[in-house]
Amino acid sequence: MRSHLGGRLLQVLPTILLVSILVFGLQQLMPGDPAVVLAGEERGDPAVLAQIRSELWLDRSLPVQYFHWIGNVLRGDLGFSWRIRQPVASLVLTKLPVTLQLAAMAFLIALCIGVPAGILSAVKRNTAWDYVANLIGLAGLSTPNFWLGIMLILLVSVKLGWLPPSGYVPLAEDWRQSLATTIMPAFVLGNAIAAILMRHTRSAMLTTLDQDFVRTARAKGLNEWVVVLRHAFRNALVPVVTLGALELGTLLSGAVLTEQVFSIPGFGKLVVDAVFNRDYPVVQGVVLVTACLYILLNLLADVLYVVINPRLRDA
Amino acid sequence: MMRRSILAALCLATMLTGAARAQTLRVALREDPDILDPTLARTYVGRIAFAGLCDKLFDINETLEIVPQLALSYEWTDPTNLVIKLRPGVVFHDGEALNAAAVKYSLERHLTMQGSFRRSEINVMDRVEVVDPLTVRIVLKTASSPFVSQLTDRAGMIVSPKAAEAAGKDFGLKPVCAGPFRFVERVPQDRIVLEKFPQYWDAGSIKLDRVVYLPIPDSSIRLANLQAGSIELSEQILPTDADAVRSNPRLRLVTSDNLGYWGITINLANGPRAKTPLGSDARVRQAFELSLDRATINQVVYNGLYTPMAQGLSPSSPYYNKSIQPRERDVARAKALLKEAGATLPVPVALTVPNNPDQRQTGEIIQAMAAEAGFDVRITASEYASALSAATRGEFEAFSTGWSGRVDPDGNLFSFMHGGGALNDSHYADPKVDALLDQTRTVQDVAGRRALYAQVVEQLSKDLPIIYLHNPKNVVGLSARVTGFRPVPDGMIRLQGISLAK
């Protein structure tokens, strides 16, 4: 196991390097000249354009631009936003807690709905419980986030006036107001993931419940819920953890549409605004940080497998 | 259990959002402003935040007249010498005095700072002289009648020299000006917070304690926030949402003419893609224009709220040419013109439209209308930034695009229609129009300039390098609690006089 983890760690660096090259290369394919975008209504003045290009190294060759950027990144400098002149690192640091909070809340909601629903529908398979759980799962999977978001705003904020429709208050500033501003987007995000978690938990549980050791546990006269939760569920957890890590990683990369709808100033909104404004250093910085987070989460999932399932320790 | 905890959270939040805030105006903006440095800033929404932060030498009023702000008066002692008298007793947010030296410093900063976006606005300026502590003389290289109007916007904003020297390029992270409100904090993409500046020279007109600018890009979410009472003012309400605001007793809708225009720019000579029937023959363009019914476009797409228009000057401008009105749709005449021009039917037109719902819809209506006259319009929806770049490079045949507009007519016409104009994507060049546009810059009196612009507009309505469609409106949604809001065609939200009823 230790060598397995060691191998995974060794893969991390080349992966991040590849991501950096991809991010850098792909955005060169975006149509629209960043200098023209940055110049705004002054775009007609060639002197202004030339000045922007030279200031931002846009007049150098691509490899020179890349090595200039990656060299700075290795020294811990992610550059500064072309649009608002703030350092990318500080932007990332201000957005990270927002995204972490939203992701944690959404994931918690997803776990609280998805896993119990999955277990229930597997245990009570082909009963009304199962059908209802499946229906909820299907609805969650097929409802677009932005639509659900707008509907919730119209109902909960505009009609009922219970929650603020958008915006964000940091946890440290006022935790109650913070929860009030994040509960709807967290629910929207969590709802979609709950559906996926529910489907996977259900199918993993169905497979496990049919196995011999479950029959043995039942034969020993154990309480049914002990059989289900302690014996079957623990064994069914591995695929669920894998999926959970992937979904959490996606959440951390920023819930683009949901953040846009609820005006939550997280990674998703940062990256979307940066793409539209051709603010390349911000796009590069955020994607790089997200890729690192994603890789870290998958490493964590590898460790978790072993904690959950001791048999994997010898593998 | 889960449901119960959600309900509990909902109830908790209800109590919290009900709490009243004392004289804090929350303003929703359509996007996050860029850097808050008047010299380096570019965005329209940034100017809205500057209206709270930085006063200007001059301002404009509802009828686009230039009125004093930090300056008391101006006088042209000759066509290249402008003498400005400053208001006494004005201080910056850091307590420094605003005097002639500070004005000289700011104007020179706008002109020479690396990365300045004001340079092109005031590059006709040769030097600034301090006559006495409250008088400056600006010497121009050549006569320029639009110059004073430039000082009614960011180029006329005066920054604290001490703070600007200390912060350098980072000045925009914590701007220090002489406006009614001073900078408190900014969380990018979330909020910009300003608080009342007690030593403001016109403190009596300021009733608010705090202003918070919130970028909310989605128009329906801006509306939802307004309806839910979590903002008091939203700029740019969609015309299609206007009825929802009007019918709500707790809200108010305020519309005013905008300085800009929307139209179809046609590639006349910008690269190989100009070689189309539309690009090479004015009669084909006239036929295209005659096939369109601007009123219908306005009714269907903009709820009848905008003003159909056939020129580049806003109806609010004193230079607006009332004799040039949109032509009635006349398909028969359009067909006749096409025949006269010897065009093979159907005439192909590649129309680029920005990828927004209203622009796509406008494109489709144009497609249907023009088809009846014998045009085959193919629409390409493109993200706006990419489309603008393509237009500059000449990679377009017809491009549906607009301009936010300027106070002086020069700002709406010169760059677009002069043969050497910086934003002349169409590459339209007419010696008569060029001469007239040059001349407008040297004439000072309004009547004289109006006569010149009348000729320009008339010629353009025949040549049609841009088929103007409409003048958009500034559509602002307000909470009924807001009183004292004064709409001005530049769309800025002036905070003087605004207060909130309890």
What one-letter code names the amino acid at A178?
S
- How high is the pLDDT of residue B13? 44
Of A43, A165, A273, the CB nearest to B230: A165
3-class SS at A299? helix
The token pair at B206 is: 């300021």
Task: Choose among A150, A168, A179: nearest Cβ to B190.
Answer: A168
Buried (b) or exposed (e) across A199-224, using 16+ Cβ within 10 A?
bbbbebbbebbeeeebeebbeeeeee
Note whether A285 and A79 are within 8 A (CB). yes
What string of H, E and C letters represents the secondary structure of B66-100?
Answer: EEECCEEEEEEEECCEEEEEECCCCECCCCCECCH
Q: Which amino acid is present at B265?
A: T
Q: Which residues in chain B touch residue A81, judged by CB atoms under 8 angstroms apart?
A: 188
Helix, strand, or coil (residue A172): coil
All residues of chain B having their beta carbon less than 8 Å from the beta carbon of residue A165 are 221, 224-225, 228, 230
A176 and B392 within 8 Å at the Cβ level: the answer is: no
B34 touching chain A per CB within 8 A = yes
Nearest-CB residue to A44 (from B114, B218, B422)? B422
Taking contacts as CB-CB distances below 8 angstroms, the residues of chain B near A168 are 190
Q: Within a 13 Å sphere around the CA of B375, how many CA atoms are in the beta-carbon half?
A: 31
Residues A50, A53, A55, A58: what is their CA dihedral angle, to the nearest 10 degrees?
Answer: -150
Q: What dihedral angle (degrees, nearest 10) is formed by the CA atoms of B441, B442, B443, B444?
A: 90
Phi and psi (nearest 5°) for A39? -75, -20
* Strand stretches in B165-249, DSSP E: 181-187, 191-196, 210-215, 233-234
Identify the CATH homologous superfamily for domain B58-164: Dipeptide-binding Protein; Domain 1 (3.90.76.10)
List the single residue in A with minimal CA-CA distance to B386.
Answer: A32
Q: H-helix or E-strand containing B407?
A: none
Cross-chain residue pair B6–A183, CB shorter than 8 Å: yes
Task: Give the residue ranges of DSSP H helices in B217-293.
Answer: 219-228, 242-246, 277-280, 282-291
- Nearest-angstrom CA–CA distance, B210 and B204: 15
Query: What would the DSSP string read from start to end of A177-210?
Result: HHHHHHHHHHHHHHHHHHHHHHHHHHHHHHHHHT
Look at residues B452, A260, A266 and name the one whose alpha carbon lies nearest to residue B460: B452
Using DSSP's 3-state secondary structure scheme, residue B58 falls into: strand
- Give how far Cα B266 sits from Cα of B269, B313, B351, Å: 9, 18, 9
Residue carrying structure tokens 């277990």: A119
Interface touch A162/B421, C-beta < 8 Å: no
- Which are the contacts of A132, defined by CB distance < 8 A and separation ≥ 6? none
User: Nearest CA to CA, how far is A209 from chain B (Å)?
Assistant: 26
* C-alpha closest to that of B33 among A55, A286, A277, A45: A277
Residues 6+ positions from A1 with CB-CB distance below 8 Å: A306, A312, A313, A314, A315
A289: left (phi over 0), alpha (psi -120 to 50) or beta: alpha
CA-based nearest residue in chain A for residue B119? A48
Is B388 in Cβ contact with A43 (below 8 Å)?
A: yes
CA distance A97 to A139: 30
- Interface with chain A: mutation pick from B37, B118, B185, B221, highest number of A CBs within 10 Å: B221
Vertex A196 angle, CA A195 and A199, to 5°: 85
Residue of A48, A162, A276 with shortest CB distance to B385: A276
Could you report the per-residue pLDDT of B143-174, keeping only the tens digit for each?
999 999 999 999 999 999 999 999 988 999 99
| B187, B386, B392: residue with CB nearest A43 | B392
* Chain B CB within 8 Å of residue A58 CB: no
- DSSP code of residue A80: B
HEC assignment per residue over B115-157: CCCCHHHHCCEEEEEEEECCEEEEEECCCCCCHHHHCCCHHHE
Does domain B2-54+179-257+474-500 fall under CATH 3.60.10.10? My reply is: no
Complex confidence, ipTM: 0.78
Whole-number pLDDT of residue B19:
40
Residue A10 has a pLDDT of 82
What CATH topology corresponds to B261-471? Dipeptide-binding Protein; domain 3 (3.10.105)
**Which pLDDT belongs to residue A2?**
66
Q: Give the whole-angstrom CA distance, residue B58 versus residue B64.
A: 12
Tokens standing for residue B219: 């128009």
How do the pLDDT tens digits run along chain B, 502 residues long? 444 454 444 444 444 444 444 699 999 999 889 899 999 888 889 999 999 999 999 999 988 999 999 999 999 999 999 999 999 999 999 999 999 999 999 999 999 988 788 888 898 999 999 999 999 999 999 999 999 999 999 999 999 999 999 998 899 999 999 999 999 999 888 899 999 999 999 999 999 999 999 999 888 889 999 999 999 999 989 998 999 999 999 999 999 999 999 999 999 999 999 999 999 999 999 999 999 999 999 999 999 999 999 999 999 999 999 999 999 999 999 999 999 999 999 999 999 999 888 899 999 999 999 999 999 999 999 988 788 888 988 999 999 999 989 999 999 999 999 998 888 999 999 999 999 999 999 998 889 999 999 999 999 999 999 999 999 999 999 999 999 999 999 999 999 999 998 7
Query: For residue B27, what are the β-bridge partners?
Result: B213, B233
* Contact criterion met (CB < 8 Å) for A260 and B114: no
**Separation of alpha carbons B100 and B81, rounded Å:** 16
| Interface list for A 217-246 with B (CB within 8 A) | none
Burial class (CB in 10 A: 0-12, 13-18, 19+), B501: exposed
Backbone angles phi, psi at A314, to 5 degrees: -90, -10
Q: Which residues of chain A have pLDDT under 70?
A: 1-4, 40-42, 254, 312-315
The Cα B57–Cα B75 span in angstroms is 13
Rounded CA separation A160/B228 (Å)? 9
Q: What is the pLDDT of residues B196-209, one digit of tens each?
A: 999 999 999 999 99
Helix (H, G, I), strand (E, B) or coil at A256: helix
What is the pLDDT, as a whole number, of residue A40? 66
Of A206, A228, A233, the residue nearest A218 (C-alpha)? A228
Taking the domains of chain B in order of start, what are their residue ranges? 2-54+179-257+474-500, 58-164, 261-471
Distance of residue B501 Cα from the nearest chain A Cα, in angstroms: 20
What pLDDT score does B297 carry?
Answer: 95
> Chain A: residue nearest B404 by CA?
A41
Contact status, residue B278 vs residue B284, Cβ threshold 8 Å: yes
- Lookup: tokens for B449: 């300039």
* Helix and strand totals (H; E) in chain B: 17, 21
Q: Are B55 and B69 in contact (CB under 8 A)?
A: yes
First to last CA, chain B: 39
Phi, psi of B173 (to 5 degrees): -80, -20
